[in-house]
Structure 1
Amino acid sequence: MKDMHAEGIAHVVGLEHIDPEDIHLRRAASIEDSTTFTKKFRKGDILFGRRRAYLKKAAQVNFDGICSGDITVMRAKEGLLPKLLPFVVNNDKFFDYAVKHSAGGLSPRVKFHDLANYEFLLPPKEQQAQLAELLWAMDEVIENIIFVKEKTEFLRLINREKLFTYGIAALDNAKNIKLKNSKCGLINKEWQAHKFFNIAEVTSGQVDPKDEKYSGLVQIGSERIEPNTGRITEFKTAKELNITSGNYLFSKEHIIYSKIRPYFKKVANPNFTGLCSADIYPIKPNSDLLCKEYLFYYLLTDKFTQKLLRFQNRTGMPKVNREELGSMYIPVPSLDEQKGIVNILKHIDDSLDAIEKKLSSSKALQKSLINQIF
């Protein structure tokens, strides 16, 4: 890599660094990483993922570097404004063409000489400039929304940790709050630390999802819980999913917690009666001591997860067993304080939901504009 250093090249790009349907390259590896890549690109070029073109990977770079042989480097020629090229290759017609002309079995690739035959309508330079201005203005809107989303996600992360250590008063001035050491780490000195199984119980005893009493209920597997948010991504019944193995029955009084790979933080608060796979624990808190939503949010914290991970010395697929979960401790403030913490975190989640809806609609509009123009 010495020759690359001499040329001022510091970045390496593989297909894994290009996000589907995103005109921006947001990640790269260091040239220090061992690599056999030798294909060079320049700032402003488009990196198109020619392997598995159906993944729709084509991003513009803002630095010089080298990339994988499974990436085609594109650069605008005379007659096409460079600012327009990212949008020309990020439209459905281009991707469909690339897929149609790909060859290979499990990992189809498209050759550049096939891509070179792709045809599209190209207006005069003056109109190209106007189109580029419109499309980049739309892109700026999207980038601003992404910025706000990232900042709000960071706010959520910080508040999760602060609120379960200091309490609501931390939002005003955490310095004046006295803490104490407990079996769940540092917590507000006014709080108690309770052993998990003293304030919550995990459902035992499975039911048959083929039974008519249960087959019409929504079934949740860990793959249908979004990491770190608690969102359930799909609502289908046990019958629709053809579930045949034993499942746990949960109710509105339960939260559900995936015991597989606990570092993914897959916890959900369904608020309906349903079934969950054997890899998920239905947990019912003692309502006299613990607000269900408070426990839900606490199980999403790094504070809880890092302490739980001390048990995880297994290779392959780490799991949390009942004894390990039951040995954990939960910080327990008053019920009023718990509800206050829940309200703050729920408000942040609601804000994030609104931001993500706006982002989704803006991306859909951008895609529609690109497809209409080209």
Structure 2
Amino acid sequence: MSTNPETVKLSSIADLIGTQVDPRDRPQSLYIGLEHVASSRFIRVGGGLAADVQSSKFAFKQGDVLYGKLRPYLDKAILAEQDGVCTTELLVLRAKDGIDPRFLTGIVHCREFIEHAISGTTGSQHPRTSWHRIREFELPAFPPEEQSKIADVIWTAHNSILACEEAISIGAELKRKAMRDLFTKGLRGNSQIETEFGLAPETWLSMALDDCAKVQTGVAKGRKFENAEMVDVPYLRVANVQDGHLDLSEMKEIHIRRSEVERYRLQTGDVVLTEGGDFDKLGRGFIWRGELELCVHQNHVFAVRPDRERLLPEFFAYLAQSAYGKAYFLKVAHKTTNLACINSTKLKAFPVLIPPTLDEQREIVEILDAIDRKIQLHQRKRAVLEDLFKALLHKLMNGEIRVVDLDLSVLSKAALEGVAA
């Protein structure tokens, strides 16, 4: 904590409000459950009506802090912007007179507070902390004026993150609409025909993927070998393959025969797609850009290697992401209650929509790639701001740095440099 010897306990700056109400007595009131509180965010992400819930709830007022006691490592707490009722899994904390509620919100999100709350949980299946535990948390005794200055800084950083997330969401919606229009009307508003998987441009051909690309299956884990020369090589897992991008932040290695390396090796321009699992993993993926000199892929990830004289890898990757592609994967997948998967036979039969010219494929790719680049710009900015936000929250709340010592223009410049990187 701070080198400042003067500290206060949470109980000296906030009260627990335990007013229980029957939601039927106020059916039009806002209802907030844990599902409406996102990790590390200061404001709610949704809400319901009291009329839609049953059993006793806590009442809260505008300016109260709603703190999630269940699994405190999830870091769930928000500042209420209006009166309402909430689940009893949220503790209602009210700032005492002279305490900035925004400052209180920051306290319950700081690293030391979360660790303090976790260390006092009870229950192995559903660990919960309690007011009895968190009320003892100690923090530096900041004067009211400095509390508000700290709150100004951390809320500005927090709201900048929300602005990035909104821009990412807008970009994703723009991309969905662009793919819908491009893959149903083409570039020039072609006449349309109805296919089994949605509308398509009338002048485009439909060709089985197996006729315009090679589908490569991956290597299975856990095989046993005797008397074989073995090597450890990086491999692409389902966790690395996201919808529209690859996450290579954590790459693992697999033990395979040296003679098999070329068989399972990824090549630059391969479109990597997952076979399924959860419904959101079905056919998701994008393009391997040769990020590693040598990398193979596991058997739950397919590598599609298009014949570039007929089909551009980027065009197929976007088609697979589109509503048309997702409709095909869902139609042919083997489904159970919560799972769906495809095999190589189904993937090879994918009816690829092919424009009359490669130039049209390139133009479509350029449009969608420009949207992707804009989304990625905001994603990089969000990552920089997240790091900045966490550092500010930690160091300001424990008194390691003071607002007066901050050069916020330098911090803003650092964020912008991170975006440009």
CA displacement at 1:248 relative to structure 2: 4.3
Q: CA deviation at 1:302?
A: 1.7
Q: How much has 1:335 moved relative to structure 2?
A: 1.0
Provide the aligned C-alpha RMSD in A. 3.0
Residue equivalent to 2:253: 238
**Aligned residues of 1:20 and 1:56 also touching (Cα < 8 A):** yes
The 3-state SS of whatever aligns with 2:206 is strand
Asked if the contact 1:179/1:189 (under 8 Å) is kept, the reply is yes
Q: Deviations over 1:97-148 (max 9, x none)?
A: 1122223334322110221111222333333333333333333333322222
Q: 1:124 to 1:208 in 2, by over 3 A?
A: closer
2:341 to 319, 331, 335: 319
Q: What residue number does 1:266 align with?
A: 284
Amino acid at match of 1:97: H
Percent of aligned pairs with the same amino acid: 21
**Separation in 1 of the partners of 2:57 and 2:157?**
34
Aligned mate of 2:299, from 261, 278, 288: 278
Cα offsets for 1:330-349 (capped at 9, x unmatched): 11012111111112222221
Structure 1: runs of 5 or more not aligned: none
Cα gap change, 1:76 to 1:294, in 2 (>3 Å): same
Deviation at 1:3, TM superposition (A): 5.0
Gaps of 5+ in 2: 1-20, 398-421
Q: Is the 8 A contact 1:219 1:235 kept in 2?
A: no
Residues 207-216 or 155-164, more deviating: 207-216
| Aligned positions, number | 363
Question: 1:284 and 1:203 mapped to 2: Cα distance?
Answer: 8
Q: 1:243 to 1:223 in 2, by over 3 A?
A: farther
1:199 paired residue among 212, 215, 220: 212
Whole-Å separation in 1 of the counterparts to 2:97 and 2:297: 59
Q: Determine whether 1:74 maps to 2:90.
A: no
Q: Aligned with 1:219: secondary structure?
A: strand
Q: 1:181 and 1:52, CA in 2 relative to 1: closer, same or farther beyond 3 A?
A: closer
The separation in 2 between residues aligned to 1:161 and 1:118, in whole angstroms, is: 53
CA contact (8 A) 1:182 1:193 kept: no
Distance 1:57 1:166 in 2: 44
Contact 2:28 2:51 in 1 (8 A): no
8 Å contact kept, 2:79–2:102? no
Q: 1:58 aligns to what? A: 77
Tell whether the 8 Å contact from 1:84 to 1:132 is kept in structure 2 after alignment: yes
- TM-score of the two chains, using structure 2 as the length reference: 0.76
Deviations 1:29-53 (A, max 9, x none): 4445454452232333222121221
Counterpart of 2:156 in structure 1 is 137
Distance 1:251 1:92 in 2: 43
Which segment drifts farther, 115-124 or 347-356?
115-124
Q: 2: CA distance between counterparts of 1:322 and 1:332?
A: 21
The match for 2:123 is: 104
